[in-house]
Amino acid sequence: MTAYLSSRKNHKLADRGLEDGASRSNNHTEIYGGSPRNSSNTLDIVLLGQTGSGKSASGNTILGTKCFASCASASPVTRDCQVTESHMCGRQVRVIDTPDFFDEAIDLSVRNEQIEKCRQLCQSGSCVYLLAIQVGRFTDGERDILHKLQNVFGYDIIEKMIVLFTRGEDLKDSIEEFLTAAEFHLKDMVQHCAGTYHVFRNKDHNEQQVKELMEKIRCISGP
């Protein structure tokens, strides 16, 4: 079994940090890419994952509107962390869209800047990470991504992480059947990520999938 460490004492290692080498109101207060701002009741939802995995599309699904640029592309579309703030499910939520911090198509110095920016943006007490993975496309890069994210954001990140499968419409069977038949590394990853996962169909304007996700988030982050 892969060792995804979760001990706080390992934070020092992680602090070295940079990469080496649902009733929705649609009441978006603003979109900005800059400084952290937060109140104690604010929930940060951070979208992480490989280029093209559906991070920005999932952010738009959560917010119920197209806030983040999302399209099919051979190169990374999102290159700068962006935040959109909205009131949903009775609390203030900040959705943070990120670039793929490990995509070598983006300069290492730019990626390191973005990692630092993301860290600064996630300064609320309540932060949940969504790891976007396309259904049926689990790559070598995705196998390693959890370790890389732990190195950058701390080993405890997995306790606040939900695997978010995108392109849910591509599932032939239920997600449970899909996971039963899935390769070991994917099962292992899901098991370690707060023990939970969710499926999005980002082309469907279906609020139920968002309500269900917000309920899973509430279980992890508290009310």
Ligand X SMILES: Nc1nc2c(ncn2[C@@H]2O[C@H](COP(=O)(O)OP(=O)(O)OP(=O)(O)O)[C@@H](O)[C@H]2O)c(=O)[nH]1
Tally of CB atoms within 10 A around 205 = 10
Q: Which does 72 bind (CB under 5 to 8 A by kind): ligand X, Mg ion, none?
A: ligand X
Q: DSSP letter for 20, please.
A: P
Q: Which is nearer to Mg ion, 50 or 86 (CB)?
A: 50
> Which span sits near ligand X by CB under 6 A: 33-41, 156-164, 171-179, 201-209?
201-209
Q: Which is nearer to ligand X, 18 or 69 (CB)?
A: 69
d(CA 95, CA 103): 21
Residue 84, judged by CB atoms within 10 A of its CB (0-12, 13-18, 19+), counts as buried
Amino acid letter, 95:
V
The reply on whether position 181 binds ligand X by CB under 6 A is: no
Residue 61 in 3-state DSSP? Answer: helix
d(CA 105, CA 143): 19
Among 60, 61, 78, 84, binds Mg ion (CB under 5 A): 78
Q: Which is nearer to Mg ion, 38 or 56 (CB)?
A: 56
Among 46, 48, 56, 164, binds ligand X (CB under 6 A): 56
Q: DSSP letter for 106, please.
A: S
> Which span sits near Mg ion by CB under 5 A: 10-18, 47-55, 82-90, 147-155?
47-55
d(CA 199, CA 42): 24
| Per-residue mark of binding to ligand X, 123-162 (x: CB under 6 A) | ---------x------------------------------
Binding site for Mg ion (CB under 5 A): 55-56, 77-78
